[in-house]
Structure formats: C-alpha cells, structure tokens
Amino acid sequence: MAKNSLTIIDNRTGKEYEIPIEEGNVIRAVKLRDIKTGPDDFGLMSYDPAFANTASCRSRITYIDGDKGILRYRGYPIEELAEHSSYLETAYLVIKGELPDAAHYRAWEQNVKTHSMVHENIKNFMQGFRYDAHPMGILVGTIAALSTFYPEASKIQDLESRRLQTRRLIGKLPTLAAFAYRHSRGLPYVYPDNELSYTGNFLAMLFKMTELKYKPNPILERALDVLFILHADHEQNCSTNAMRSVGSSHADPYCAAAAAVAALYGPLHGGANEQVIRMLTEIGSVRNVPQFIKQVKAGERLMMGFGHRIYKSYDPRAKIVKQLAYAVFEVTGRNPLIDIAVELEKIALEEDYFISHRLYPNVDFYTGIIYQAMGFPVTMFPVLFAIPRTSGWMAQWAEMVRDPEQKIARPRQVYLGETLRHWTPIDHRPEPTMREDAVSDVL
C-alpha cells in the first residue's frame, strides 16, 4: 500500500525529507521549513499569491466540488435546501451544524427577530451620509459602528457573547440594509415588523409606503428567501477570508464583519451581478449576441457572470437562479434582459472558447436580472448578497475562534526590495533614479 507521505530530495544538499500527507492531499507548509542548506538558512517556504493552492483552515461548514458543480452546507445539497428550507433554517444549519427541530427553530427565529431593531443613534449616524452614498459604503460604516454599541462583543471566547452577537448581526442586517436604501431615496425609515418572515419583513422595510400593514407578495418573498439560501456561505472566498483574517487579531465580530462587507463591495466579488446588467443592457438585443461573443473570443471583452475560480462546470446556484427568474417574472413582468442572457448562455456553451476554458454561468449571471425585475437599483445588489452571507461569516468566524490551530493571520512575503542602505541628509542625496518597480510609480 502506498505510504501517506511525500519524499523530497533537496538537490542543493542531496538530503531527503519525508513530509506526511494528511486528509488525502494536504501537506503542512511549515514542514518545508525543515528543508535547509545549513543551520543559518531560514528554510523553504511556499509562494502562493491569491491563495490559489493554499488551505488556510480546516472547516466543516461548506463543501464545494468545482469540477462536478457540487455545493453543500454541512453535507446538505444546495438544491435540497433551496427547494425545502428557509433562509433562517439554513442560517441555523450553517451556524450550528444541524437542522433544527421545531422547538429549536421557533426559538432561533424568535431570537433573531428580537434583534431586528437598531439603536436610534444608528439611525442618526446614517442620516450623516450624503443623499447619494452607496448603500454598501453605509453598510460598512454602520456595521463597524455597532461595535461601539456592544462593547461586550470583545469577549470573543465567551460562547454566550458569540451567540448573542451572531443573532444580533443576522437580525439587524436587513434593517441596516433597508435603512441604507430608504436613505438613498429620501424616504422615511420603516421599522421592522416581526409578524412577517425574515425576508417578508425586509421587503416591508424597503418598500412600505402609506399602507398600514405591508403584505409582501408570497412569490417574491419566497424568491428572495431562496436567493438568501444560495448566498448563505461559500467557504473561503474573499470576504470570508477577510472575516477570518480580521477576526484572527481578536477584533470583535462587528469590526470583522465590516471588513468582510468591504471585501464583498469589490466588483470582482459581490459586485459582478451589477456588471452583468450593464453588459446585457449594452448588448441591447438578441441580434447583437453573436457579435459580442466574437469580441469575447478575441479576448477583447470578459463575459461577466461567466467563469469562477472554483467552479469549472455549471455553478449549481446559477441553475436554481435561472429557474427562479421565470417565477419572479410571473409577478413582476418579464425582464427583457433574460432573453439576451439565455441566448448568450446558449451560444457560449456551444463555443470552443468557453468549452476549452471551462467557462460556465456563475451565480451572478441571473441574479441581477431578478433583482432588477423586483425593483432593486443596481447599488443594492451587493447589499442583497451581504445580508445572507452574514450567517456564513459568523459561522466561519466562530469556527476560527474555536480552532486551537488558528493564530493571528500573518502571511510571509518574498522580499525583493533594497538590502541595507544608510540615511543621508536631504541636501546630500543624489538625484533619485526611479526603478521600474519603484513605489512612486505605482502610487
């Protein structure tokens, strides 16, 4: 039987090293430090910009097989959760590891809803933002501000404190998001209605006008709930990595979550669905699709909403979102961009370029079309991602805090700068000769 180890011969010294292989395909990078040319040598390290092949943690939350298009939370296939579960039940699963029984679910729902109100000072704080402030900017600021309202959140080793902050954040996110939206429209803020479901209440806080009681459309309420389920977690993506990394310094979870939202704000992460809408609008008609595909194949354009670092087959979430779009259109009327999207997908999936590059629709390809049909402005798209991802961030953060192997996140670097130089008085310095990679050229 093959041994679970890797044998390395260092050709500089002729020495042989045996490194254990754990979990089927994992070697500990720190073991490379044993490989040295002499006692003063630092030892080898691995260089992995953008963590393309580095596991930063052990996790039991989300499983992805990018080749097979599999996504599971705690072992449950995303398709089953999208069909049968609710967002709050899925959030419970992601955070606690098991589906709740009826009594636990009732208690969880009650506990989350109890925290849907925000301190009036938060409202005043939000009033300070300009009328055209991007809602993601407002969200980053207000989540960080929550840290000052709940100083006990700094007790990150305390289980009860972690539970309380988790319920608070999941409970308050829809309120903060809705207030940010109403702020941008110059509309009065709508307070939470805890008789409604989690997503129904969110829709009420967004869209309630003068009616005494807002009644969410059940199809739109369910569609949003399904979209929330699909976005609850996605293992070690950019924003989750930010959550873990900031949390690893033992900053409180509000500060860490604010960092995660900031990471999600970027167009390469939570902002891609907005770019899809811009692309489809620019294409304008099904007639123009072949010309657009030609440009993509020539390397002149990116097809937004296509391709993924992990999925090299159809993103399982995109399949569900595509079906959902037609259910939403029954209520909202058809978003004409869907026809362009479907044609793009059809042609792309037959083209060699997309097949050979293993490019398939990702979750963002169809979500923007639904959000737009439901009346959300594009600036709200990443906010609609941040609300459900909060459960994933908190689950990943708690896992990190409790993991005895984790320490403050602190990568190493490959230093390429000057060796030792000595300071000289300003009038003795020679005319600077800028190197190609000098800092002044890039800042």
**How many Å apart are CA 94 and CA 109, to the nearest integer?**
15
Q: Which residues from 55-74 bind ligand ACO, rule CB under 6 A?
A: none
Q: How far is the CB of 365 from ligand ACO (least distance, A)?
A: 7
The nearer residue to ligand ACO, 303 or 321, going by C-beta atoms, is: 303
Q: How far is the CB of 262 from ligand ACO (least distance, A)?
A: 15
Q: Quick check: is 437 catalytic?
A: no
Provide the b/e sequence for 422-440 (b: ≥16 CB within 10 Å).
Answer: eeeeeeeeeeeeeeeeeee
Asked if 302 touches ligand ACO (CB under 6 A), the answer is yes
**How many Å apart are CA 292 and CA 282, to the nearest integer?**
10
Biggest alpha carbon distance in the chain?
Answer: 81
Q: Quick check: is 308 catalytic?
A: yes
**How many Å separate Cα 113 from the centre of its chain?**
23
Q: Which residues from 253-272 bind ligand ACO, rule CB under 6 A?
A: 268-269, 272
Asked if 181 touches ligand ACO (CB under 6 A), the answer is no
Distant-in-sequence, close-in-space partners of 144: CB < 8 Å, separation ≥ 6: 254, 255, 258
Distant-in-sequence, close-in-space partners of 238: CB < 8 Å, separation ≥ 6: 263, 264, 266, 268, 269
**How many Å separate Cα 101 from the centre of its chain?**
28
Q: Quick check: is 364 catalytic?
A: yes
Among the listed residues 308, 315, 428, 437, the single catalytic one is: 308
In the list 71, 303, 373, 383, the residue contacting ligand ACO (rule: CB under 6 A) is 303
3-state secondary structure of 40: coil
Interface segment toward ligand ACO; rule CB under 6 A; list 56-64, 109-117, 296-304, 371-379:
296-304
By rule CB under 6 A, what string of x and - marks binding of each residue 340-379 to ligand ACO? -----------------x-x--xxx---------------
The nearer residue to ligand ACO, 119 or 357, going by C-beta atoms, is: 357
Q: How far is the CB of 308 from ligand ACO (least distance, A)?
A: 5
The nearer residue to ligand ACO, 184 or 237, going by C-beta atoms, is: 237
**Nearest-CB residue for ligand ACO:** 307
* Surface-to-core class of residue 192, CB atoms within 10 Å of its CB (0-12 exposed, 13-18 middle, 19+ buried): buried
Asked if 307 touches ligand ACO (CB under 6 A), the answer is yes
**Both structure tokens of 373:** 């049909």
Q: Which residues from 74-113 bind ligand ACO, rule CB under 6 A?
A: none
Among the listed residues 10, 193, 269, 403, the single catalytic one is: 269
Give the angle 127-133-138 at the CA atoms, nearest 5°. Answer: 65
Q: Which residue has the tokens 């984790």?
A: 406
Interface segment toward ligand ACO; rule CB under 6 A; list 2-10, 104-112, 247-255, 307-315:
307-315
Identify the helix (H) or strand (E) that includes residue 10.
Answer: strand 5-10
Asked if 320 touches ligand ACO (CB under 6 A), the answer is no
The contact set with ligand ACO (CB under 6 A) reads 268-269, 272, 296, 302-309, 357, 359, 362-364
Q: Which residues are tagged catalytic?
A: 269, 308, 364
